[in-house]
Amino acid sequence: MFCGLGRLLTLLFCCVVLANQLVPFVHPLQLLVNLAAALLLAIHVLEVLLCNRSLKGRAHPWRDRGRVLLFGIFHLYTIPAPAAPEASHA
């Protein structure tokens, strides 16, 4: 439920940013929304770069990278952890 709510709020913020680009908000709010959007995009790009190795083994790595760019950590939480190789006790 946490990830679903986070995704919904992230999409809502993306809609606010898009609306700000189409019809700019009043002066101080326009700059703050653009700054927050740039900061969020930078964080999501950093998440993709840091998690790139774990995304390579997925069935659709480019789709996962796109979702991480859009949803960030909320998509990374939904990816199951890779199974650890079993140690042989010979």
Distances, alpha carbon 88 to alpha carbons 81, 82, 83, 84, in Å: 21, 18, 15, 12
Averaged pLDDT for residues 25-37: 94
Note whether 35 and 25 are within 8 A (CB). Answer: no
Q: Which two tokens stand for residue 37?
A: 């959007």
Nearest to 47 by CA among 78, 72, 79, 10: 72
pLDDT above 90 as % of the chain: 43
> Average per-residue pLDDT in the chain?
86
Lookup result for tokens 């006790």: 89
- Whether the model clears a pTM of 0.95, i.e. scores above it, the answer is no
- Residue 90 vs residues 18, 86, 87: alpha-carbon distances, Å: 60, 12, 9
